[in-house]
């Protein structure tokens, strides 16, 4: 994931492309887009990034009980 993050940088189009090609998440066909998410709907680790960090950047790798993620 670190290599992918270096490749993606903060480029949304590259993130979407990588998500479609490599993600195991149900959001992969949508380029990793999780849609509208409310606090507490996902893991606490996701909430921390989604609701506390500045939008428009790629964060991670982030470990949750479900594995490792780029957000």
Residues 6+ apart with CB under 8 A from 20: 28, 29, 31, 32
pLDDT digits 0-9 by tens, 23-39: 999 999 999 999 999 99
pLDDT of residue 15: 97
- Expressed as residue numbers, the domain containing 34 is 2-69
Distances (CA, A) of 37 to 3, 6, 56: 27, 26, 16
Query: CB neighbours (10 Å) of residue 4?
Result: 17
Whole-prediction pTM: 0.87
pLDDT of residue 27: 96
When divided into structural domains, the chain yields a total of 1
């Amino acid at each position: 994931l670190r290599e992918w993050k270096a490749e993606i940088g903060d480029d949304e189009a590259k993130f979407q492309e990588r998500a479609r090609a490599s993600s195991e998440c149900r959001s992969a066909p949508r380029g990793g887009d999780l849609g509208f998410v409310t606090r507490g709907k996902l893991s606490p680790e996701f909430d921390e990034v989604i609701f506390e960090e500045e939008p428009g950047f790629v964060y991670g790798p982030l470990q949750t009980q479900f594995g490792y993620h780029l957000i």
